[in-house]
Amino acid sequence: MEAGAFHLPDDLAAKATEQQIGADERHFAAIARTLEESTAELERRLDAARRAPGGAGPRALERDQEVHHLTARLRTLRRFGLDLCLGRTVTDDGETRYIGRLGLTATDGTRLLHDWRSPVSGPFFGATHGDPMGLASRRRYRWTRGRITDYWDEVFSGEGLEGNAALDDQSAFIASLGADRSPRMRDVLGTIQADQDAIIRAGSRGALVVDGGPGTGKTVVALHRSAYLLYSDPRLSHRRGGVLFVGPHQPYLDYVGDVLPSLGEEGVQTCTLRDLVPGGPQARPEADPAVAALKSGLDVVGVIDAAVRFYEDPPAEGLEVLTPWAEVWLGKDDWISAFDAPPPGTPHNEAPEFILDELATILAGKHPEDDDGNRPPEAAVRKALRQNADLMDALNRGWPWLDAADIVADLFSVPAYLRRCAPDLSPDERRLLARRGGAWTVEDLPLVDAARQRLGDPESARRRLKQAAAIAAEAERRAEVAADIVSADLDSEGAVAMLRGHDLQDALIDEAGRPTSTPDLLAGPFAHIVVDEAQELTDAEWQMLLLRNPSRSFTIVGDRAQARHGFDGTWEQRLERVGLDRVELASLSINYRTPEEVMAEAEPVIRAALPDANVPTSIRSSGLPVVHGTPGDLHDVLDAWLAENPEGTVCVIGDPRFRPTPRVRSLTPGLAKGLEFDLVVLVDPERFGEGIEGAVDRYVAMTRATRQLVVLSD
């Protein structure tokens, strides 16, 4: 007999009756059949898409997107199987709806699973006893290796009691919070709570701040909101920029790496701030705190703009330009007019193309008319200008190619240049910023990034020039061929005569042979940016993100009490200072992760430094007290815990000499931020630092524990 979806242990026999799970088993059988059919159909469509001609331009893009979409869906179906289903709801009028990671429809049109992001699925996550949202009952499943090993029911009305005799309410959910952790963030979609779901489904206009203390599910909200917005908001589609997710450090991204694919969404770009700049991951923090603070507070966009404009200087003298048709004078005012031609926002290294176009227009208009009253065409004049060494030399002197690293290096090594570009700095501050070579620091990255954005990529710009030249040459060749065919006049139907039309000639151009370039996937612009641990960002780092998000559509996740360098004012005041004026605030105050025993010890640590810290309320107890000892007890503590717990993860924080093992990591407080472990062992936490920075590091480290905390101090 084929095994069903349920595999309940003997002590849950009361939940395994036909009355309780019979309808579910029949529904899962239908899901299994449809999954098999859907997988086969997806494989067929994917094979056909891959075999289809690649085409060029939009056709190639559409084919690639189709392959990506089919591959992502097929990967999700193969990964989850029946456990695509999260649970079910029964409405007041008796309709049963099954909620899944993806939507699924049988061949006869029956809806077997509703996508968790669809409006009809909202009550599954958002219903409460105070606001049932039209539900009579809700059931959530716990899956283990592809089968249901437990489930729990919640009833919102008297009608919901029928068929729900094995009620658990929230007890099973609370118990699941203490389950063993793994090196990757565990799947929590099925247990999203109403307060979290309301934020996940909030609109995307402006900036939404999600403020919450440790364990409140900020990261869960940030990740699930990324997937939800891409599904529900067409303004954020990949064709319009998509979504960028920014995490605090690489261990964090590794930890959450499985979450978005498990939600059926593989199109979100993820990175750290350092990843936005080539070579950024290798940058080290500034050694001098005063220099770090000064750089972090710079108006990097304004400074870089002034630095680049210094090199945008039209020639002060006119030039006699010799073309194949005449010798034409290019005056000073003509240069000024041409240098004003690039549209606002054009990257510096891409602007010469606009300048050349304007010069061609100006000079074509100055040519004397021929006997037929015509002047040379602008395209021909432009081609001639490129071959004029004197003109190109004058253009390159007045508008030279620039490199981002050189611009920033000159700012810190040429005092007069820095004084011109940052006039608000005092002489002492400029001397403080003077550098004599060396690798870039973390605090330099916003300046380098702003310079790259302002300049554009020189190599990319050069590739575009080559591409334009290749297209022009191909168009010219096709036009010549078309002219030869038309001149033969062998087409009685008139089809060949159509070759006189520019549209058809353009369509004949072989786009597949054009030079191409690999896009910078993190360059933006993005339609929406999600930032986790946002309380740590400096003014300069915010500019890196604002440059990539012209619409100012953000989800900003953080906790002011976890800001290592302090957090002055409110979120609204902080964000207004960096240029975000449409700000809404949502708060999370329930700590689902950290046991009461741990929070009782962690709360006084942060309140001593920040009396108004947003400390969340824990809703569960592990029954394990916080253990104190000395650093010499470390190995005994670990050996005992690992022997008693065959599964689960441990983190030692504060002992750089400790060598990690497969189940025990060793991290600094900063790199532990955003992560969670069953057991956390702090070694000499008083050495983490003084003042707010030290208190925050201790608070963050303590609240990584989901079961037990051990503090070892001399």
End-to-end Cα, the chain, rounded Å: 62
The tokens describing 613, both together, are 């810290």
| CA angle, 256 then 519 then 296, to 5° | 60
Residue 109 assigned as binding residue = no
Residue 219 assigned as binding residue = yes
Residue 579 assigned as binding residue = no
CA distances from 207 to 299, 575, 583, 637 (A): 21, 9, 5, 45
| Residue 408 one-letter amino acid | V
Q: Which of 668, 628, 629, 633 is CA-nearest to residue 652?
A: 668
- Rounded to whole angstroms, the Cα distance separating 590 from 221 reads 13
Q: Count the neighbouring beta carbons within 10 Å of the beta carbon of residue 212.
A: 24
The alpha carbon of 380 is separated from its chain's Cα centroid by a whole number of angstroms, namely 45
- Rounded to whole angstroms, the Cα distance separating 103 from 98 reads 10
- Rounded to whole angstroms, the Cα distance separating 654 from 220 reads 26
3-state secondary structure of 448: helix
Do 536 and 566 touch, CB atoms closer than 8 A?
A: no
Which helix (H) or strand (E) segment holds residue 618: the answer is strand 617-618
Do 375 and 401 touch, CB atoms closer than 8 A?
A: no
The tokens describing 688, both together, are 């983490």
Q: Name beta bridge partners: 244.
A: 269, 529
Q: Write the DSSP string, 272-341.
A: EGGGGSTTGGG-B--S-HHHHHHHHTS-HHHHHHHHHHTT----SS-EEEE-SS-EEEE-HHHHHHHHT-
Residue 206 assigned as binding residue = no
Query: What is the sign, positive or negative, of the torsion defined by CA atoms of 384, 386, 390, 392?
Result: positive
- Rounded to whole angstroms, the Cα distance separating 595 from 637 reads 19
3-state secondary structure of 147: strand
3-state secondary structure of 208: strand
Residues 6+ apart with CB under 8 A from 158: none
Residue 216 assigned as binding residue = yes
Residue 213 assigned as binding residue = yes
Residue 629 assigned as binding residue = no
C-alpha gyration radius of the chain: 32
Q: Which of 228, 260, 262, 234 is CA-nearest to residue 247?
A: 260
Q: Which residues are annotated as a binding site for ATP?
A: 212-219
Q: Which residues are annotated as a binding site?
A: 212-219
